[in-house]
Structure 1
């Protein structure tokens, strides 16, 4: 617990003058907001209750409540839940049996639950920090990059010069990750249709033809600019995914399961591949802030049960179930996507492949929303406002066509995307939230014996190890891929 005086000393946390952040001194009174209460305990994630507790700031001291200024026509809690589920239940979950193959049954199950908890916690602290800095800066909402920027801008004096770097780092990381993932989405959709249609019709079309055909619906879905209009697509995608999972589960249990020949813990050399797969598959950090910012009742995002907790509990359980039983069922023959293990030519298995392809297609709009929003915010001032609509149409179409071109030029993009995903999701999903929280709480709101600092150091080290392991594994896969072609 600290008071205002604790933040006015030169060696401590103090706030920049109002003029430096584009706010009039009259509106802020040239006085930093009071911190009569500390940041809420880590276990209490209900931001609404924390803003109204008697031991929190009184309205006279800080009357600004960012939740009161949200769009009343924003997305509902159900819509936000659908978006979060869809952003986390992509192609990554299909690779979970392979992840368990690289980890072993017991180690894979335990670490899937632990990694799921860590990812959820990092999202919690990012959103909670964003809520707090919105109150401090008196703004309605902030995105991921803007949250990082404002935390540094309002942080300790020695860190303020890194505010713009923090914003640019997050922005570039998000754009690189999601544009690259969009390319692999196109490849996944096209390959699924290629396998099924070619098998049943007897035609021998190259996968690049299917990539060209896949680009057409992507061009249409990619023009949707409001997150709430993507809700129907997310909901339909979730339905298709549930049906696909049901079919996959049917094939998992259509024969007796054999556990005795599966290792409880895999060899150490393959475990890094497990962590790279799980982190890449689970992390939807780039979608979190846009979804939260679009909600008309953002206080429902955190808390218990809350939108985030409900989504992540569902995601982690599905990952654990599919990974565990998928590996038990198919053993060492398990493939990178469990749908590839389904019987070829069986109508039920092929239905699962097609439904998953359509679900990923419906997800493309949400995947495309994040990087395009970032890019447009950076360049929209360069165009005549009267031409903004046409400019956005051309820009979005050009990026999608370019993504399709990259996919057609290199149909096997998985190793490259895994490299980008492992690097940026480890950094963006774990390292950045923990570092941002540390800067915001520095120096004397880090808990008893600075336990939050110790916790965040652990998260940072874990993210770097995951980054290195994922990068090395992806590079080795790329080398093996092109060595095989030679």
Structure 2
């Protein structure tokens, strides 16, 4: 065996020496410990900050949309239908108030401006959704968030911005719903009374129109309105085809049509075109309902495809409708179609049914706004019956207004001129300016200059359109 003593030191170290030696071996210097700990904490903090930045950059509002939302085709159908309403039927009258050359050029320009304003509204909404980390925002909510995240002096006005947009949307669309009812009733009145020999008052047809509106008005999902929009678009295309047939069934005479109308008539042209083209209230609900909202903007995109189609149809119907009927053109081009002929009657009835199918989309926007404001006053289990009663009551009131005031066109032109010029042009340009303020307005602040010009144009359209509409109310003319 090996003797361990042979390896033992000659003298055993003292306890103090042992402790000192052990501490010198096992205990690292104090400054090394402090440095290592600080470095570790610093790395942890840096990692948390980097992760937070990555989380902010990684948030994509589009990824949080409803996967069962509307397709691009469905959104296109909704957007086309929201813009192709009764306004397009009045485009020949608009050209009558503008002249062939001026009307054609300005229709294209106004169409471009309307498209641009919708584009900047949707783009700003996408940007503020990213800032606020929410999947989607409506028109009013976009205005609210832009002010809320905007310059400090404007933040207290965020709720006012939201309420302004909401009230404007409700007033405009509820009033337009009355026009839809009256248009449907008048179309059936003209055809049935003439062909059958009845002498029923138009108010009877308004009462009958209320019945299908009560059912269509109960639809609360844009997805279920897609079939109605598609059918309405088909009926409108057929009606346009018949209308174009009657436009060209005789030689067109251009010689007696002015290129530029008298200046006093120009405001009526702008009021009609802006009211007809602007579907601003339906834009955000349609965009928010898409499962792939990135397809809404861009080239070609849902928006560009819809607006190019709308502007071309407006220009064609307006130009050739005025050339065909001249000074005899009426407020709706279908009213100029010959009575007693099956083809002309078919066009009138198909257009009436198309507008009836459009009523659901027209009715959807203001009801969504109104219900959002009042739903908290009712218990959840009462929401369904409350919505049914609310929608039915509004439809009945709309029918009563349409029956009580058979000539609503000047009143609706006034509402459209005021609210569509503000909501469709002024508000989007103002919202973009607030969002980009103060250092993202482009080279030499060209976006600010552009938006100021848009604001001036919208205010001029508001004043001129309102004055012309009031003039028509006071001194109605037989067009």
Per the normalisation by structure 1, the TM-score is 0.87
Quick one: distance in 2 between partners of 1:63 and 1:153? 23
Write the deviation string for residues 45-77 of structure 1: whole angstroms up to 9, x where unpaired: xxxxxxxxxxxxx84542210000000000010
Paired with 2:191 and 2:330, the residues of 1 have a C-alpha distance of 17
Further displaced range: 355-364 or 261-270: 261-270
- The offset of 1:444, in angstroms, is 0.6
Bigger radius of gyration among the two: 2
Q: Which runs of 5+ in 2 are unaligned?
A: 1-48
2:350 paired residue number: 355
What corresponds to 2:392 in structure 1? 397
- 1:196 is displaced (CA, Å) by 0.4
> Distance in 1 between the 2:54 and 2:97 partners?
54
Question: SS state of the match for residue 291, structure 1?
Answer: helix
The aligned counterpart of 2:115 is 120
Name the structure 2 match of 1:309.
304
Q: Give the alignment partner of residue 261 of structure 1, picking from 232, 247, 256.
A: 256
CA distance change for structure 1 residues 369 and 140 in 2, over 3 Å: closer, same or farther?
A: same
Match of 1:263, SS state, is coil
Shift of 1:480: 1.2
CA RMSD of aligned residues (A): 1.3
Provide Cα deviations, 1:400-425, integer angstroms capped at 9, x if missing partner. Answer: 00100111111111111110011000
Measured in 2, the distance between the counterparts of 1:268 and 1:72 equals 52
**Pairing 1:444-463 to 2, within 5 Å after superposition:** 444-463=439-458
Per-residue deviation, 1:322: 0.4
Aligned match for 1:220, one of 193, 215, 231: 215
1:230 corresponds to which residue? Answer: 225
Given candidates 358, 375, 378, the residue that maps to 1:383 is 378
1:110 paired residue number = 105
Stretches of 4+ moved more than 6 A in 1? none
Q: Which residue of 2 aligns with 1:167?
A: 162
Query: How far apart are the structure 1 equivalents of 2:329 and 2:391?
Result: 37
Partner of 2:89: 94
SS of equivalent to 1:264: coil
Residue of structure 2 equivalent to 1:429: 424
Take 1:258 and 1:416, find their aligned partners in 2: how far apart are those partners? 33
Give the aligned length.
428
Are 2:113 and 1:156 equivalent residues in the alignment? no
Is the aligned partner of 1:473 residue 2:456?
Answer: no
2: CA distance between counterparts of 1:346 and 1:408? 28
Match for residue 288 of structure 1? 283
SS at match of 2:382: helix
Give the structure 2 partner of residue 62 of structure 1.
Answer: 57
Residue equivalent to 1:176? 171
- The alignment's TM-score, normalised by the length of structure 2, stands at 0.88
| More moved, 90-99 vs 406-415 | 406-415
For the residues of structure 2 that align with 1:411 and 1:237, how far apart are their CA atoms?
25
Matched, 1:76 2:65: no
Taking the aligned partners of 2:75 and 2:116, their CA distance within structure 1 comes to 18
Note the residue ranges of structure 1 that are not aligned, 5 or more in a row. 1-30, 35-57
Aligned to 2:197: 202
Q: Which residue of 1 is the match for residue 408 of structure 2?
A: 413
Partner of 1:346: 341
- SS in structure 1 at match of 2:144: helix
Separation in structure 2 between the aligned mates of residue 205 and residue 327 of structure 1, nearest angstrom: 31
Report Cα offsets for 1:370-425 as digits up to 9, x if no partner: 00000000000000110100000000000000100111111111111110011000
Partner SS, residue 62 of structure 1: helix
Q: Distance in 1 between matches of 2:217 and 2:180?
A: 13
**Residues 1:277 and 2:261 are matched in the alignment:** no
Shift in Å at residue 441 of structure 1?
0.1
Distance 1:415 1:166 in 2: 28
Residue number in structure 2 paired with 1:320: 315
User: Aligned partners of 2:336, 2:363: CA distance in 1, in Å?
Assistant: 29
